[in-house]
Structure 1
């Protein structure tokens, strides 16, 4: 490296690489479960704490109905995304599977999944990669150890994940904001 005129270019490339790595790492999941990262609490890339419009774009339901739990008023995704609705319950049909969500002022508060036909199980993965009908051992490999037999709960300071276990298989899960 006797030719020093290339050093500014080399330094720029190194700095750009470091900046890209730093920027890309804040949006993903760490190798082990982080109970304080809200993106851990979700399905197919949608997560609690996210705007309902963004979540709907990710989940792409075939059909969706939303109704305020107190007033029974129907809501559109656009109205909820704009911050309307105190506590809105949503039922979405994705293929033959029903996904339930709760939305407060446009923000996902809860995502629930159960009753998935076995042939559709691979279409619905937690953001960490767990599917319905995965084994309890797979759950613990992805999320870590936790107490419980029929219901295993992982809790952060602002979110909670619950997994239902029957015959050593995950048969339902639910992500909630606290």
Structure 2
């Protein structure tokens, strides 16, 4: 009788452990907009909030159509058709595209080695991490030199050079 009780308890414990593991999955979620970003900023985030997170030393924004310059407050209020911005964060540049006050695209490249860990993704992937680390954190993507992950609304691209992450780009589709 005690053996049966023991096996029942063991079965319940194993079932609970399997369910907990399934519920706390860390697989890449292609429909979660926060998966598409780095350095604490992500697609769909308001530009004013993103600036508060990044705290750039310099930020210049210009509408790609009219060539008019925009302030952060103007963009946060939804002004501008397709505004591109260059942000200087420590020794590195981050390029963003903003529409209706929300980030539509984030591009990172030529990040200084000393800033590499500041621009980690939500999964913990940093600039100059290995291609193996990219696959471990995100799974198998399409492409070899440019590895792409897609959801129905978003796309993440990681450029590889010498089997290390050399650039990142996140776009709304």
Same fold (TM over 0.5): yes
- SS of corresponding position for 1:122: helix
- Structure 1 segments of 4+ aligned residues over 6 angstroms from their partners: none
- Say which of 150, 155, 169 aligns to 1:155: 150
CA distance in 2, matches of 1:142, 1:113: 19
Other-structure match for 1:22:
none
CA positional deviation for 1:92 = 0.2
Decide which of 99, 109, 117 is 2:112's aligned counterpart. Answer: 117
- Match in the other structure for 1:86: 81
TM-score between the two structures when normalised by the length of structure 2 = 0.84
- Unaligned 5+ segments in structure 2 are 1-23
Q: Aligned ranges for residues 1-178 of structure 1 at < 5 Å? A: 31-178=26-173
CA distance in 2, matches of 1:151, 1:140: 12
Partner of 2:160, secondary structure, is: strand
Cα shift at 1:147: 2.1
- Distance change in 2, residues 1:95/1:157 (3 Å): same
Deviation at 1:127, TM superposition (A): 1.8
Q: Deviations over 1:124-166 (max 9, x none)?
A: 1112211110000100111111121110000000000000001
Alpha-carbon distance in structure 1 between the residues aligned to 2:96 and 2:119: 14
Tell me the secondary structure at the aligned position of residue 94 of structure 2: strand
The C-alpha deviation readout for 1:66-87, integer Å capped at 9, x for no partner, is 0000111000000000010110
* Superposed CA offset, 1:32-90 (max 9, x none): 11000001001122110111111111111111000000111000000000010110000
The offset of 1:101, in angstroms, is 0.2
Secondary structure of the residue that 2:75 maps to in structure 1?
helix
Unaligned residue ranges in structure 1 (runs of 5+): 1-28
Q: CA deviation at 1:30?
A: 5.7
Q: Whole-Å Cα distance in 2 between the matches of residues 79 and 144 of structure 1?
A: 39
Provide the secondary structure at the position in 2 that maps to 1:149: coil
Name the TM-score, length of structure 1 as normaliser: 0.82
